């Protein structure tokens, strides 16, 4: 059962927020959807799933990325889930990089997080099924995200290469098993067995990928990003991609930081990148 929370016309289309009870996270979840003008049961449109970063909700991308005009022009719907389960009964911590607002798009195995923190299942299975049931969309899907959400987008595409036409990321946490944000989150959600961590690490997954499962990837990274060297490490993904002949392009952008100012500067390019594969 979907509950509509807000509706606003934008760029000739519609931005809407919903809540629903999730069978994956066992709590109420919020998501936002942008429907381009003309989307209807007779004219279904493909979907870009957007995964946000630490501290975000469904609102950050929709309010700050400036994606609506280009998505409207290209006829692409955008769906932005929250970044974690939330609520009084959901475990939380007094930190910005773990628990609520920081689900890392994994299925937690460790108590007390394993009841609610199943964001992988939510994003990969439950949310697309819900979107395809209730909105005028096709089954063609692409995926993108920022920082923690960039990790989520690349990792989910690598694990489900037939489900997505293409994947892009802004400033992704490219190798979470080897950076402080990732080590903290994976220890808390997945325990200490690093073979389990590897199942959610884009570098490890790309290393295992079969050529028949390769899909086009674009990564944009600002060179003035404070998190670049310690947390993000996109060059490690490029090293694997080069070894494997994987079709990943990393574009370093001079002077840009980690913020939505960067995302809003290049979101049109990412939408155009996905459009060519969503409409092929
Ligand atoms: N300590 C900072 C960190 C929060 C931050 O920078 N969040 C980014 C994503 S970082 C990686 O996942 C973000 O998107 N913030 C929201 C926004 O609208 O900019 C802090 O707590 O501020």
CB–CB of 83/77 below 8 Å?
no
- Work out the average pLDDT over 223-240: 98
CB–CB of 145/104 below 8 Å?
no
Q: Which atom of ligand 1 is nearest to the CA of 148?
A: 12
Q: What is the CA radius of gyration of the chain?
A: 17
User: Is the CB of residue 172 below 6 angstroms from any atom belonging to ligand 1?
Assistant: no
Ligand 1 centroid from CA 18, angstroms: 23
Which of 53, 119, 174 maximizes ligand 1 atoms within 8 Å of its Cβ, making it the mutation to test the pocket? Answer: 53
- Work out the average pLDDT over 3-18: 98
When the pLDDT of each residue in the chain is averaged and rounded to a whole number, the result is 98
**Which residue has better confidence, 1 or 43?**
43
Ligand 1 atom 18: residue of nearest CA: 60
CA distance 212 to 62: 34
Share of the chain above pLDDT 90, in %: 100
> Binning pLDDT at 50, 70 and 90, where does residue 248 land?
very high
Taken as a whole, the chain contains a residue count of 280
User: Is the CB of residue 64 below 6 angstroms from any atom belonging to ligand 1?
Assistant: yes
Backbone angles phi, psi at 264, to 5 degrees: -65, -20
> Binning pLDDT at 50, 70 and 90, where does residue 130 land?
very high
Structure token digits, residue 153 = 């987008």
Name the 3-class secondary structure at 148. Answer: helix
Ligand 1 centroid from CA 52, angstroms: 9
Which residue in the block uniquely carries the two structure tokens 């947390």?
Answer: 231
Alpha helices in 78-201 (DSSP H): 119-121, 127-134, 148-159, 180-190, 194-197
What local confidence, expressed as pLDDT, does residue 37 receive? 98
DSSP 87-121: STTS---SSTTSBTTB-TT-B--STTTTTT-BHHH
Which of 52, 55, 260 maximizes ligand 1 atoms within 8 Å of its Cβ, making it the mutation to test the pocket? Answer: 55
> Smallest Cα–Cα separation from 51: which of 131, 155, 139?
155
How many domains does the chain fold into? 1
> Binning pLDDT at 50, 70 and 90, where does residue 270 land?
very high
CATH number assigned to the domain comprising residue 110: 3.40.50.1820
Ligand 1 centroid from CA 54, angstroms: 5
Q: Which atom of ligand 1 is nearest to the CA of 259?
A: 19
> Binning pLDDT at 50, 70 and 90, where does residue 25 land?
very high
Domain that holds residue 74: 3-278
The interface pTM score, or ipTM, of the predicted complex is 0.94
What local confidence, expressed as pLDDT, does residue 210 receive? 98
> Smallest Cα–Cα separation from 80: which of 152, 23, 164, 3?
152
CA distance 176 to 200: 8
What local confidence, expressed as pLDDT, does residue 174 receive? 98
User: Is the CB of residue 28 below 6 angstroms from any atom belonging to ligand 1?
Assistant: no
What local confidence, expressed as pLDDT, does residue 226 receive? 98
Q: Which atom of ligand 1 is nearest to the CA of 60?
A: 18
Ligand 1 atom 2: residue of nearest CA: 96
What local confidence, expressed as pLDDT, does residue 9 receive? 98
What are the catalytic residues? 147, 225, 258
- Work out the average pLDDT over 148-156: 99
> Smallest Cα–Cα separation from 123: which of 110, 141, 137?
141
What local confidence, expressed as pLDDT, does residue 203 receive? 98
Ligand 1 centroid from CA 261, angstroms: 12
pTM above 0.95, yes or no: yes
CA distance 264 to 65: 4
What local confidence, expressed as pLDDT, does residue 78 receive? 99
User: Is the CB of residue 54 below 6 angstroms from any atom belonging to ligand 1?
Assistant: yes
What local confidence, expressed as pLDDT, does residue 257 receive? 98
> Binning pLDDT at 50, 70 and 90, where does residue 197 land?
very high
């Amino acid at each position: 059962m979907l509950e509509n929370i807000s509706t606003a016309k934008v760029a000739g289309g519609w931005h809407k927020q919903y809540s629903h009870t999730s069978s994956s996270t066992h709590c109420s979840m919020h998501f936002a959807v942008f429907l381009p003008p003309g989307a209807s049961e007779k004219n279904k449109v493909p979907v870009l799933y957007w995964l946000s970063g630490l501290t975000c909700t469904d609102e950050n991308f929709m309010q700050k990325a400036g994606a609506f005009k280009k998505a409207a022009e290209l006829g692409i719907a955008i769906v932005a889930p929250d970044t974690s389960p939330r609520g009084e009964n959901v475990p939380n911590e007094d930190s910005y990089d773990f628990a609520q607002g920081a689900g890392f798009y994994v299925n937690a195995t460790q108590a007390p997080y394993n009841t609610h923190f199943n964001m992988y299942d939510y994003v990969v299975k439950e949310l697309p099924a819900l979107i395809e049931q209730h909105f005028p969309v096709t089954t063609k899907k692409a995926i993108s995200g920022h920082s923690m959400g960039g990790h989520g987008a690349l990792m989910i595409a690598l694990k489900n290469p037939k489900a997505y036409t293409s994947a892009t990321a802004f400033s992704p946490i490219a190798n979470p098993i080897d950076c402080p944000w990732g080590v903290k989150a994976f220890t808390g959600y997945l325990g200490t067995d690093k073979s389990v961590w590897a199942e959610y690490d884009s570098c490890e997954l790309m290393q295992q990928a079969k050529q028949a499962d390769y899909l086009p990837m674009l990564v944009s990274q600002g060179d003035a990003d404070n998190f670049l060297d310690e947390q993000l490490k996109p060059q490690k993904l490029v090293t694997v991609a080069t070894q494997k002949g994987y079709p990943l392009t990393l574009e370093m952008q001079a002077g840009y930081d980690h913020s939505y100012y960067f995302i809003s500067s290049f979101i049109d390019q990412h939408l155009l990148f996905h459009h060519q594969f969503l409409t092929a």
